[in-house]
Homo-oligomer: A and B are copies of this chain.
Amino acid sequence: MSAKKIKDATQFKKDRMAKTNLFETERFFLDVYGLEPGQSQAPHAHEGADKVYVVLEGQGRIKVGGEVSPVSPGDAVHAPAGVEHSLENPGPARLVALAFMAPHPKHSK
């Protein structure tokens, strides 16, 4: 079966946010992002694909369409297709978040 322990899969990198894929098909991907304090994901948008962040550990800031929300474990945020979004870890702890995207950008229209 395709079952994974998210904690075991989560990675961190010294120089930038680490992305680790958990599952993917043409219809979606589910990644886990690991951000050391001070790391961030640059603002970007995906035409034709929706993203949802689910925060698992740490405290972060998620920006969607120019609006910033402080986020903590148990928060879910939707970044609709075509809307600019970004993720930031101001610290002091590590930030871990799931990123669901549908469809997989390689297959979006």
Q: Does A106 contact B (CB under 8 A)?
A: no
Q: What secondary structure prevails in chain A residues at the interface with B?
A: strand
Given A25-B81, A80-B25, does the pair A3, B62 have CB atoms closer than 8 Å? yes
**Count of chain copies:** 2
Say yes or no for A92: interface residue by CB 8 A criterion.
no
The interface size bin for chain A is 35 or more
Identify 30 residue pairs between A and B in the complex whose beta-carbon atoms are under 8 Å apart, listed by A's number. Answer: A1-B64, A1-B65, A1-B67, A1-B69, A1-B77, A3-B62, A3-B69, A3-B76, A3-B78, A4-B75, A5-B74, A6-B54, A6-B75, A7-B74, A22-B52, A22-B78, A25-B50, A25-B80, A25-B81, A27-B49, A27-B102, A27-B103, A28-B50, A28-B100, A30-B78, A54-B54, A100-B100, A100-B102, A102-B102, A103-B103
